[in-house]
Structure 1
Amino acid sequence: MRYLFRPPATDGAGLLTLPWHVPLEEWDPELLLEVPQRGISRHVVRFVAQDGHVYALKEIAETLARHEYALLGEFEEEGLPSVSVLGICVDRPHGQDAILVTRYLEYSMSYRYLFSRPHGEQSAEQLLDTLVVLLVRLHLAGVFWGDCSLSNTLFRLDAGTFAAYLVDAETAERHPRLSDGQRRYDVDLARERVGAELLDLQFGGLLPSGVDPIEVADSLPPRYEALWEEVNREEVFSPDEQRYRMTDRLQRLNDLGFDVGEVELVTSPEGARLRVETRVAEPGENRRELFRLTGLEVQERQARRLLNDLRAFRVQLEQKSGRPVPETVAGYRWLEEAYQPVVDAIPPDLVGRLAPAEVFHEVLEHRWFLSEKAGRDVGTTAAARAYFDTVLPRTPKEVTTPSAIVGPSR
């Protein structure tokens, strides 16, 4: 047998003791974890814990395993939203398939889990829009997925909404640029698969009443085309509109979760033509900025919300001191005096229900709600206390970090 691990290879050192020579479906249950968020797979998939981390193991033909291993590695290096690959085990005895090893995506949820929650009524439209954003990002990067579906996607909360991540890349292809025909074919495949998945949910009694699976699935292509047009279209406007129209265009792209690359503005007596190169690499501007100032690694929308709070905190510091406060100083003090006290105050029995940054975001939202109701600023401490008492306990226990499901290292 041979093992191929991406750096840092030490991450997978503890996995070498596992029984790779045995078919995955015959592994001792004592070695495995039950992950409540997992979706449906046509392959044998198991989860294991080693050294405080959770890994997904998928048994698959070696040629497909090597293909997916290489592609997922490229996606991770480029910041495309996908699971992180660790390695593969090949040349297993008796002609067995290879095993692809990926890292468990923290706080992620399958579409079936989301629809099984008490508040799944809002999920259909929201998840479809999130899936469309993921597909557009991949297409912009020249990736033909070939198997876009809810089953092959994981979702996790990002400041009250969802972010989508590609899980299965065995059918994906990489091209310098996708043709319109390739994009349309990929979208049509996605429509068919999503329709079948929603029908399956309906048959299982998980789809909210009033939701038509075919109607929802048929709305995927127009949703995709609308977003594709928004991130790729050229705009024409008069010279006196130039500044604010350009600013507005770039802001709309940022709000949709896309970074902006090269901006080309061609002027003529008839007007100005704006073309924007849309980037899909993550982390985005807000994530990079928050990490630079605080060292926190969070989702893009979470970062935007936390940066807004940090900036307001900096203004307060300057008002109190009567002099400018460097942004690095403000970032350090915000982390120590605003963010960390809220995270540290999470009751022990509620730790892991949501990512810390998502908890802080929701506390800020709860503070706004309580302040609006009271007609005054109730403060973060009081808002956090009320949130921990009344809101966070209602979050399902299954939405958890691997640290909450990992047992002792084996």
Structure 2
Amino acid sequence: MSPTPARQQLQITAASPDPALLDLPWHIPLEQWPTETLAALPRGISRHIVRFARLSGRVIAVKEIGETVAYREYELLRQLRRLDVPSVEPVGVITGRRSPEGEPLEAVLITQHLQFSLPYRSLFSQSLRPDTATRLIDALAVLLVRLHLAGFYWGDVSLSNTLFRRDAETFAAYLVDAETGDLHQKLTDGQRGYDLEVARVNIIGELMDLQAGEFLEEDVDAVAIGDALAERYGELWRALTETESFGYGERWRVQARIDRLNDLGFDVGELDITTDVDGTTVRIQPKVVESGHHSRRLMRLTGLDVGEHQARRLLNDLDEYRAATDRQAEDESFVAHDWLTEVFEPAVRKVPRELRGKLEPAQIFHELLDHRWYLSQQQHRDVPMKETVKSYVKHILPNRPDEQAILGVQPGDLREGEPGSADDELIG
């Protein structure tokens, strides 16, 4: 690799700068970076030049962008990470780039690649269920609500500016592009409404573009799906923020409200409960709402860091294990440890090493549970997990596309111009 030209005076802004950053060819425009530096990953559409590069055994996304905008987006992404909002992890900003001829080059924003994530165009290039678009919209609605609760105004909501990871039978959405965003103490109804309208219009256009490219059936109603985002968002926002009134004799509805929020994946840290002067009516409103109810419980019990819907599924299997072993009276943490070492880990370890890049472990276990149910129905017996894994590894997993970064794959190995090819870009 060519050394960095001496005339460059690079400035690297990063919380934990990696010395290997200096080995990358910053004196070359990003569009011309050599293939041996790049990692081929599925990428989405972008208004900027973006490339994936290998760095110290990991993959980073590098985006050429104006210096002021790069610093601003870097800080916004850092704030979103501190607020625990699903978003890509910022690595740093590099300025002071110059070509060998001394010509100034644009600054770059560097983010960590989100493993096992895919842009929406790559998802539609695979053989997915017909309701994929609806499931992506549901995931985006949850993300948008979480952003708005945190006071983040996005300004350019779209499928293109989002990454998706499988989360059991659903998807989890992550913000990729914060360039047009802004963080406030609290958003107004007008700001939230504008974000929703931008999202609706962008999504309709993106789905129509997929239809034009024959990646989405023509009979799919793109307008209805765009409208569904606003409906799903409204339902979730009301469930999390609305004040609810009920009769004094219906106090059970307080717990029902909490259970409903837990089912949506949110924890309630505090409730504001007031009664009328005569005590006949009770009003409740969630005061502190946090997402990740099931994933936090699973993390506490097992140390597994997984998606919310994956956590719900794994917890259900843990509960079944507890009942099957007649250990309901035992401490839950002890039972969880045994489930982890006797059920989860042995099943995941049975997957051959060459197939482990297909899906993340929690998603593999979720699909194993589905496959075990299918085999049991087919054979009219309870199929042991050992048989399930053998069947799944032989018949199902090899046909799944790789969703982890494969560092040895080169961009030229993908066909030019297809969704998911190296010519598509990831971060906005």
Q: Does the pair score TM above 0.5?
A: yes
Does 201-210 or 249-258 show the bigger shift? 249-258
Further displaced range: 98-107 or 229-238: 229-238
Q: Which residue number in structure 2 is paired with residue 341 of structure 1?
A: 346
Question: CA offsets, 1:360-410, max 9 Å, x none?
Answer: 11111222333344443222222222222332233223xx222x33579xx
Q: 1:288 to 1:315 in 2, by over 3 A?
A: same
- What is aligned with 2:417? none
What per-residue deviation string (whole Å, max 9, x for no partner) do you get for residues 270-294 of structure 1? Answer: 221110135245xx23222322332
2:223 is aligned, of 201, 205, 214, to 214
Q: 1:275 aligns with which of 282, 285, 288?
A: 285
Whether 1:73 aligns to 2:82 is no
Paired with 1:137 and 1:41, the residues of 2 have a C-alpha distance of 24
The aligned counterpart of 1:61 is 66
Change (3 A) 1:23 1:407: same
Paired letter, 2:285: R
Q: Does the CA contact (< 8 Å) of 2:148 and 2:187 recur in 1? A: yes
2:304 to 275, 296, 302: 296
| Alignment correspondent of 2:5 | none
Q: Which of 255, 258, 263 is 1:247 aligned to?
A: 255
Correspondence for 2:424: none
Distance 2:301 2:65 in 1: 43
Residues of 1 paired with 2:159 and 2:65: CA distance? 20
What is the distance in 2 between the residues matched to 1:371 and 1:219?
36
- Which structure features the higher share of helix residues? 1
Name the Cα RMSD after superposition. Answer: 2.1
1:351 is aligned, of 326, 348, 356, to 356
1:63-102 deviation digits (Å, cap 9, x = unpaired): 1111110011111122101111111102323442211111
* Counterpart code for 2:283: R
- Aligned-partner SS, 1:181: helix
User: Match of 1:331?
Assistant: 336
Deviation string 1:277-329 (CA, Å, 9 cap, x unpaired) is 35245xx232223223322211122122212222333344455xxx9544333
- Structure 2 partner of 1:380: 385
**Partner of residue 145, structure 1:** 154
Matches within 5 A, 1:370-409: 370-397=375-402, 400-402=403-405, 404-406=406-408
TM-score normalised by the chain length of structure 2: 0.87
In structure 2, list runs of 5 or more residues that go unmatched: 1-9, 411-428
Structure 2 CA distance for aligned equivalents of residues 136 and 116 of structure 1: 28
Q: Which runs of structure 2 are paired with 1:132-211 in the superposition (5 Å)?
A: 132-211=141-220
Q: Distance in 1 between matches of 2:398 and 2:139?
A: 26
Q: Between the two structures, name the one with larger relative contact order (CA 8 Å, sep ≥ 6).
A: 2
Q: CA deviation at 1:177?
A: 0.5
Which SS does the other structure have where 1:240 is aligned?
A: coil
1:187: how far off? 1.0
Q: Which residue of structure 2 lines up, in the alignment, with residue 368 of structure 1?
A: 373
Post-superposition Cα deviations, 1:140-186, rounded to whole Å, max 9, x if no partner, equal 11110001000000001011110000000010000101111111111
Q: 33, 36, 40: which is aligned to 2:39? A: 33
CA deviations on 1:238-262 (whole Å, 9 max, x unpaired) are 222212x122212222222333232
User: What is the letter of the counterpart of residue 66 of structure 1?
Assistant: Y
Take 2:228 and 2:383, find their aligned partners in 1: how far apart are those partners? 43
Tell me the distance in 2 between the aligned counterparts of 1:217 and 1:261: 32
Separation in 1 of the partners of 2:56 and 2:398?
29
SS of 1:89's equivalent in the other structure is strand
1:32–1:47 contact (8 Å) kept in structure 2:
yes
TM-score by length of 1: 0.90
SS in 1 for 2:245: strand
What SS class does the counterpart of residue 52 from structure 2 fall into? strand
> Which of residues 21, 26, 29 is equivalent to 2:27?
21
- When structure 1 is superposed on structure 2, of 166-175 and 357-366 the one drifting more is 357-366
- Which aligned pairs between 1:83-162 and structure 2 lie closer than 5 A? 83-93=88-98, 94-119=103-128, 121-162=130-171
Q: Which moved more, 1:46-55 or 1:221-230?
A: 221-230
Aligned length: 395
1:130 maps to a residue whose letter is: A
- Distance in 2 (CA, whole Å) between partners of 1:366 and 1:222 is 33
Instruction: Check conservation: 2:269, 2:290, Cα contact below 8 A.
Output: no
For residue 79 of structure 1, what is the amino acid of its counterpart? D
Checking the alignment, whether the CA contact within 8 Å between 1:49 and 1:407 is kept in structure 2 is no
Q: State the SS of the aligned residue for 1:338.
A: helix
Paired with 2:404 and 2:204, the residues of 1 have a C-alpha distance of 30
2:6 corresponds in structure 1 to: none
Aligned 8 A contact 2:265 2:294 in 1 = no
8 Å Cα contact 2:272-2:285 kept in structure 1: yes
In 1, the alpha carbon distance for the partners of 2:117 and 2:376 equals 31
Distance 1:122 1:285 in 2: 26
Q: Which ranges in structure 1 are unaligned for 5 or more consecutive residues?
A: none
Does the Cα contact within 8 Å between 1:302 and 1:358 map onto a contact in 2? yes
* Distance change (3 Å), C-alpha of 1:252 and 1:326: closer
Secondary structure of the corresponding residue to residue 114 of structure 1: helix
